[in-house]
Structure 1
């Protein structure tokens, strides 16, 4: 069993495992609502929307987490402005800012003259470099995310069911929408250090998709998604250690594979149930 325990005997791998587990919990809370609302594109867009801020922070020597947060919040506000002022649809607003922010980030990185190295770190992260400070940030983000989701639960549920009905019943769907965007922004920014801006969407969406195959209740989906995400982190780290692959990308690929396996198992179970013969009682 040394092949299983040896990697996790090292402190930096233990920190990576703990950090990844915290990311899995945070992404499970936000990702469940993302799946219910069909807003996976928002997570992808915000992940790219961080790029200019992270690039500028890297070039200027500022904390990259600060740059990521400012850039992601600017994109979130920009989406709302385009919807209200330019009267563009939600998807159109996200699409425009998605491309614009990504292009701006690449321009900043390329102008700095270290495109290859910086872009790799920004896009794919380095979970094996997670430190104690990063763990504290992630733990605080988990507490804030869970507290926000609990406090705005009624508005989030109403928004998920029917926004127009929620508005009529004064269930504050706007608050639900704002909290949802805030949760996704928090998850993407806090998870940036662990898996990078491109791969964070894997942990945001895939575990929730896998969990949704087995339960319809929102709290249960969140809990199961957190477990699936944490297992994906552990398996991804183990595979990465023995196969000498990028840890962040391997974790994201493992999470996506878990979603695919969950779907296949659910389909196989449903097919077996349909084929099961129905016993008709014979009248005596």
Structure 2
């Protein structure tokens, strides 16, 4: 496979879009501490995938529609007295995936190959997949342009947001739907198992490099795009799984940033402690 191949061209466009999308939305995932929810969504949408396969519909459309139901259930359950968001997410993860398994096992002769959904293949994306990803990216940009500040305020200070009269429940739902549609867009490239890598890794890496929100979004998007494009290149050169390549590169970049942050922190503490540790005469 060469760089002149149209398959590679589509893969590069898809990789750039999902990399940027995962990086930007991932900042909200990190700020709200929702990596577990993002992972749960990739598994809880499985019943929608199975139903779509049985009906001959687009798999990702089925997963996306069922994902909205999962988001509604999580939000509703988490607001029940005595329950919390993590518990609701755990139930959605296990219950959703179990329902999908039951649906598959109850259909004699079920032969639809769901491998593409579970592990993804960015080199196999179609023009339709590109259109879906572009549509999701446009929708995310529009939502963030309209209520991005409100979403950030509700993420950092939900009590303050409520005091200002903001509809925090609606904002929470909007944010979770943004994450859900991003998961649906990323799945064709990385699969359900690895999609969380692009939703967590770039933003977590950016958080190690800076605490400023104005910096987090572009840095996370840039890391996501670079890792996704590099993963496609590695896949095309050595004939290995593109989704796994992207996820591994995201992990590698995070590891390097973590080590760099640790070294900088230790050096900073050493500089701060240095003058205080010297004798009074030496400092004079």
Equivalent pairs counted in the alignment come to 277
Q: Distance in 1 between matches of 2:81 and 2:44?
A: 20
TM-score (norm 1): 0.89
Runs of 4+ in 1 over 6 A off after TM superposition: 279-283
Query: Unpaired segments of 5 or more residues in structure 2?
Result: none
User: Structure 1 278/83 Cα, relative in aligned 2: closer, same or farther at 3 Å?
Assistant: same
| 1:223 is the counterpart of 2:218 | yes
Q: Distance in 2 between matches of 1:171 and 1:238?
A: 45
User: Structure 1 175/81 Cα, relative in aligned 2: closer, same or farther at 3 Å?
Assistant: closer
User: Structure 1 282/155 Cα, relative in aligned 2: closer, same or farther at 3 Å?
Assistant: same
Matches within 5 A, 1:98-113: 98-112=93-107, 113=109
Matches within 5 A, 1:196-275: 196-275=191-270
Q: Secondary structure of the equivalent of 2:220? A: helix
Partners of 1:158 and 1:173 within 8 A in 2? no
Query: Unpaired segments of 5 or more residues in structure 1?
Result: 1-5
1:190 to 185, 194, 203: 185
| Displacement after TM superposition at 1:282 (Å) | 7.4
Q: Distance in 2 between matches of 1:254 and 1:86?
A: 42
Q: Secondary structure of the equivalent of 2:240? A: coil
| Displacement after TM superposition at 1:86 (Å) | 6.9
| 1:90 is the counterpart of 2:85 | yes
* Mean Cα deviation higher: 90-99 or 175-184: 175-184
Partners of 1:236 and 1:251 within 8 A in 2? yes
| 1:37 is the counterpart of 2:32 | yes
TM-score (norm 2): 0.89
| Displacement after TM superposition at 1:259 (Å) | 1.3
Q: Distance in 2 between matches of 1:194 and 1:93?
A: 28
Task: Quote the residue 2:147 is aligned against.
Answer: 152
| 1:138 is the counterpart of 2:133 | yes
RMSD across aligned positions (CA): 2.3
Partners of 1:152 and 1:175 within 8 A in 2? no
